[in-house]
Structure 1
């Protein structure tokens, strides 16, 4: 008896920031858990289309974000609404349609899912030219909208909030093409292990205030060493978990600077166990990336936003602040003052934790896959 070939779901992502890749991983995981007859295939679009240029572009992207954030913010705002300038950049970043068409022919997917805006652009253009007729789903990976996410031949948009849905509708997208599923996250963030058990695993005190500090996959944490030196000003020792990501230089520097700290410090590089570290923590200090925000809300972990970058991070911060789901700090002095206030009175922390329960994010990846499969079914009718 012949074995039926699995239907393919092609997930297009990119490594510009960690969020697009994490959402792609979450969708792939959810597809595997939903059906044994489906095969998720994830492709880094930039790596496939521009294998030699991609490392250079990625390097300059990180340098601009780190050294010249205002320049990035300027281009983000300049292209937020579609105009002639944004169209020119879109053409530049969504080139090489022939290679993408070749990929689609080889994979022959039942549906294409884009977690990266320029991938969505390429697929939309291929559909516009009637070179493909595959259903296309775009997942917006932040709590704010941008013109690069919107393309006329997209069949379905998955968004993280009703605010983003309203923004898409105001920009001309039909409401029935938008589903508010939440930003997809890995299923390990849907459950919390007992705090006492995790404290034993990481040699921490389950009854002591624990602050988790994250800076994204590349470890861009505020202003670096200056931020962490300020923690010594706290009146009472706390527990600090610091994830430096791939920033080995920062991790080495911090190991020296914090070697005689009054606080219990757990210093880590890139970690696959962020869900455990969130579960044991009372407060998260982080960049407001869309995925990080969603993971924290799923874990009911209050967030202290520190120095958001111009662009989508600023938009994500605005979203959280409008709904009173986070606290905002502009400098290291403000960070210390906020933590000291929490140590003196946990009311604000408890209030944020309570409000996160009103924004369920635990099943976002499963809900997203349900919509993706329904879109695939409708597109083949």
Structure 2
């Protein structure tokens, strides 16, 4: 990839994320943080929420509609996901949506004057590609796929380079006709701090955890996982007596209040409730097991920490695909619902040999320094600039 200015000058990179799930934003932040490390070419990065800046009036409606579809009619979401996974071209409705944001996106580009645009959000990548196809924008477009799988929504004619999480995804893109020169395996970007080696006993003591009792970290937002699965765990004497639970509620204050009320009626000395945790990497270092939904970023952070996973209630679509990849790699186990979840959790936590095996599989599966590798893939090379192929 060649930048549009000389290598002696600082490069301006606009990173477009999105608000449909926290993973897109976290990947963008990881890239921005990694751009300030090492001795690579000087880069000035600016992370911008695409939906907030380009569709300020529609962003909340789109987010609400997406979350409600996933929550209330996941089978419909799954059908749409699989129906469009290999679609070529844009649907008329999606094309209209992108065209409504053209002026705002052009104003954004004029404001930042980027030498390149990186998208960690598929709608942003599609919108930038459309402007390039129309001849209104002339900068390299890099798309970072933040799932362990491929989908047509990520793929656009004017994308110059795809950064993907594994060779499996790279092979899938090549099978779609995308040239190898337009695909680089960097790993899904996670913040550099997730690759720091930490002593588990020391970290547990610093976080106020008992060093000699198993720790289960629970993540997954305020949806079905926290509102359903956790209640069954909190009502299990075997769980509460035999391990330490650290439950991350994120920004969902309602769920935190509900769980606080649940804990008020039972001993809760071994249960910790957290809101949004900036130091989640430390809690992962302290944990023996992560109970989570299989989002691309959270699971990539866990893999970076070699933390075994119990995957609960994947959304039909990309989360099911993510779960399948992680289970084939041997780094995760699919959780069952109801009482089976409790039994499965107890079985895993009290099987240190199996957890050790899963840690070893994660160490073999992970890609070191993915955010830094992403920037290395973007450094100028002694070759012609990548062409804007019309092949998806």
Q: TM-score, normalised by structure 1?
A: 0.92
Which position in structure 2 is the counterpart of 1:19?
Answer: 23
* Superposition CA RMSD, Å: 2.3
Identify the range of structure 1 (55-64 vs 370-379) with the bigger mean alpha-carbon deviation: 370-379
* 2:35 counterpart of 1:31: yes
Q: Report the equivalent of 2:289.
A: 283
Residues 1:156 and 2:191 aligned together: no
Displacement of 1:201 in angstroms is 2.5
Q: Distance in 1 between matches of 2:260 and 2:207?
A: 17
Aligned partner of 2:3 in structure 1 is none
Which residue does the alignment assign to 1:341? 347
Say if 2:364 is the partner of 1:361.
no
Shift in Å at residue 196 of structure 1?
2.6
Deviation at 1:242, TM superposition (A): 0.1
Alignment of 1:1-381 (within 5 A): 6-34=10-38, 37-82=42-87, 87-95=91-99, 96-216=101-221, 219-222=222-225, 224-225=227-228, 227-231=230-234, 232-234=236-238, 236-259=241-264, 260-261=266-267, 264-374=270-380, 379=385
Separation of aligned partners in 2, 1:244 and 1:175:
41
Distance 1:329 1:65, change over 3 A: same
Post-superposition offset of 1:233: 4.7
> Offset of 1:377 from its aligned partner?
8.9
8 Å Cα contact 2:160/2:386 also seen in 1: no
* Residues 140 and 89 of structure 1, relative CA distance in 2, 3 Å threshold: farther
Q: Which stretch shifts more, 258-267 or 291-300? A: 258-267
Change over 3 Å in CA distance of 1:144–1:138 after alignment to 2: same
Q: Distance in 1 between matches of 2:88 and 2:114?
A: 32
Alpha-carbon distance between aligned partners in 2 of 1:366 and 1:103, rounded to the nearest angstrom: 26
Give 1:188 deviation, angstroms: 1.0
Distance 2:233 2:54 in 1: 44
| Counterpart contact for 1:14–1:44, Cα < 8 Å | yes
Relative to structure 1, the CA distance from residue 315 to residue 225 in structure 2 (aligned partners, 3 Å threshold; closer, same or farther) is closer
Instruction: Give the TM-score of the pair, scaled to structure 2.
Output: 0.89
Structure 1 unaligned blocks of 5 or more: none
The higher-RCO structure (CA 8 Å, 6+ apart) is: 2
**1:228 shift after superposition:** 2.7
Conserved? CA contact 1:160–1:180, under 8 Å: yes
How far does residue 287 in structure 1 lie from its aligned partner after superposition? Answer: 0.7
Q: 2:193 & 2:261 partners in 1: Cα distance? A: 33
Q: Which runs of 5+ in 2 are unaligned?
A: 1-7, 388-392
1:319-338 CA-to-partner distances (Å, cap 9, x unmatched) read 11122220001303222222
Q: Secondary structure at the match of 2:290?
A: strand
Count of matched residue positions in the alignment of Structure 1 and Structure 2: 375
Distance 1:193 1:348 in 2: 21
Task: State the distance in 1 between where 2:364 and 2:356 align.
Answer: 14
Larger deviation: 260-269 or 161-170?
A: 260-269
Moved more, 154-163 or 66-75: 66-75
User: What secondary structure sits across from 2:211 in the alignment?
Assistant: coil
